[in-house]
Structure 1
Amino acid sequence: MSNLGYRPCVGVMLVNAEGKAFVGKRIDNREGDWWQMPQGGVDDGEDLAEAVLRELAEETGVAAHLVSIIGRIEEAMRYDLPEELVGKLWGGKYRGQEQIWFLARFSGTEADIDLEAHDPPEFCEYRWVDPEQLPELIVPFKKRVYRTVVEEFRALV
């Protein structure tokens, strides 16, 4: 595992007018009731802000014109996969992800969210939650990252 690198990734805390954060339940979630914010890999040479808007559109159907980026954590955060998942995700190339997180304000309506915008979809359902709940909802190996994201964006939400 120590020979493997980290997958370049972006994540977004999407908040609505009430200050609630979007979380989706992954379709491939087989163990536990885990929810996560939109996130995904960055293509070679891709601008990070463009990558986050692309990932958001793919996972939620939310168009870029309905989103305003209002914050970014400059320092990348890493997490390692549990041993049982190493080699099974991302073609076995990575031990975890290195993420840059963005905060974005959603100005659309529920009708603008389409979890089937991308084939295959990542989420089977979604909800809006208080940002303080986020670390409780994510898989255990990502809790530290989510606590940091909540802390960094608290004043901007």
Structure 2
Amino acid sequence: MKRKQSDNTDKPRPSAYDKALGLLARREQSRRELHRKLDLGGYAKDESDKALARLGEQRYQDDERFAAMLLRNRAGQGYGPARIRMELKTHGLADATIRRLLDEAEVDWQASAANQLRRRYGGKPAADREEQGKRAQFLLRRGFSAATVRYATHADVDEADEED
């Protein structure tokens, strides 16, 4: 028995508002991200702008709420503040907003960095300076500050000295 192929031409295209609302129903998204997706969907700029303004007025789309969610998520995944800051900038958030959210975040960046070292390298301390450098580079790539990296990599060495 052959199935009849459905013809999508009969189905009306959703409005930009409905499309954006559907995207937001799946997960929080930044205004810039929604705008890009609507542009790729072929919606006119003015229709997209009106839809996003309406979603903002109704508080369905809120860049600050999106940023706070992303910050919590990335910090939980073990990323540092520099990496999170850069990701938030790609979503079009203002520097002042990003700075404020990072300052308000209740994250112990030093503990997070130390935890990432334990997860990646186990409980053993660095064997030599070269290994310590590799560990520092790992943390720097994850977005931790030089001071935090120095603390985490030297704490690793200090703990090894105490065990001797």
TM-score by length of 1: 0.26
Larger radius of gyration: 2
Pick the structure with more helix per residue: 2
TM-score of the superposed pair, with normalisation by structure 2 = 0.26
Higher RCO (Cα < 8 Å, 6 or more apart): 1
Give the structure with the larger strand fraction. 1
